[in-house]
Each structure stands twice: as C-alpha cells, then as structure tokens.
Amino acid sequence: MLNNRPNHVAIIMDGNGRWAKQQAKPRIIGHKQGVEIIQPIIKTAISQKIKVLSLFAFSCENWNRPKTEINFLMKLIASKLNQRTISTLNKNGVQFRWTGFTTNLPKTLLKKIMFLQATTEKNKKLILNLCFNYGGMQDITQAAVRFKHGESNDFAKLLLTKNLPNVDLLIRTGNEKRISNFMLFQLAYAEIIFESTYWPAYNEKKFLKNLSEYASRQRRFGTISEN
C-alpha cells in the first residue's frame, strides 16, 4: 500500500465511444465495457484505503448527445443499480452517493439512486460518489444563489458535494487534456493525471500506476518547496 495516498480520487471516465470505434463496434458496447471496469477500480481503492472515489459518468452537457445513446445510458445505469449491486457494496463496506441534478432524469432511475444511497449510508470503508447529470459551473451557480439567500456562511457546504473533502487526485482517461466542467471548485489544488488509455481498457494496474505517480509528487499549496 502506498504511503502517500490521496483521500479523494476523482476519475473522468472518458473514451468509451472511441474504444468501441477502435474495436469496430457500436458506441454502446464501449459504455457496457466501461461499466464493467468500475468494480475492479473500487476494490483497488479500498485496498489502498482511499476514502472517496468520485466517478464522472454523465455531464449536464451530455444531454446534447443522440437520444438513442442517452436512453441507452439511462437504462444501463438503472440496470446496474440493482439488489446485486447493493449486496456487493454492503459486503465491501462501500457507501454509495450521487452528485448531480434531478433535471431530466427518469423517475425510475432517480428512485433507484435514492434507494441505493439509503441502503448503503452506514458503510465506512469507501464513499463511491457517482457524478451523474453533473456540471461544475451549474454546481457553483446553484450554490451562489443559495449563498446569496443566506442558507449558509460556508460556500463549500452549499455545493452538491457537501461534506466531501476536496479532490486530491483527478485522473482523466481517453487522452484528452481538459477537465470538462467537472468539480471546478473542488479541484482547486488537485493533482491531475491525463491517462492516454481509453476507459474500457483501464484496469487496476494502470490505476495503481497513477496512484504511484501521485505519491511521487510534492503538493505545496502555494508554499515554497524545501527540496
């Protein structure tokens, strides 16, 4: 286990469609394969004693994709939020959380999300934070409105990620070098790794390599290094 490990790791799971194209397969196959990668990454996060694992699965801007792909993604996610998933999360001590907006989400999916949160809320080994229908600018905007109305003096508590620590390490797969409106406030001092591998080809070995790279970095938070 790494000595210098991040408390909060966030992953932008990018490259499903391009991986499928590379395999001469439909985009939906990439999404199916991408979902299968999640469980091994969760297990590795637990073994490394990471406290929070945030996964960016669907952005507010993704509604601009073809309706057929959106409908498939909604059904795919809903199908995975089942009793088997609940049992697995509880067995491994994983607490499920959802960060996102209710706008446009199917009621059946939202109901499953809320049920999964409620049935895993006592688990302590890892918080699995699914960012679905989420956008960083939208998050800051809604928090600013609530701050203006005096709901809290602590701006961070008004963000959708309330009570979660800021991100220590952001990993983006798919060989894209941008953060795409993800947790803009929470990423203020995060270390960032742009991973060339497409998400469906990502695995525990690559995750551990990324964690090792993080461990080798020196975070200064505006101070001067003594080395």
Phi/psi of residue 104, each to 5°? 75, -10
139 is catalytic: no
For residues 206 and 204, what is the distance between their CA atoms, to the nearest angstrom? 5
**Contact, 180 vs 12, CB < 8 A?**
yes
What type of residue sits at position 16? N
Query: Locate tokens 């990502």: which residue?
Result: 202
Of 14, 129, 139, 168, which is the active-site residue? Answer: 14
Phi/psi of residue 153, each to 5°? -90, -10
14 is catalytic: yes
Q: Sheet containing 8-12: give its strands across.
A: 94-99, 126-134, 52-59, 8-12, 169-172, 191-194
Question: What is the H or E stretch that residue 114 is in?
Answer: helix 107-120
**Contact, 227 vs 218, CB < 8 A?**
yes
Of 7, 62, 90, 123, which is the active-site residue? Answer: 62
For residues 85 and 81, what is the distance between their CA atoms, to the nearest angstrom? 6
For residues 52 and 20, what is the distance between their CA atoms, to the nearest angstrom? 29
For residues 125 and 37, what is the distance between their CA atoms, to the nearest angstrom? 20
**Mind telling me the catalytic residues?**
14, 62
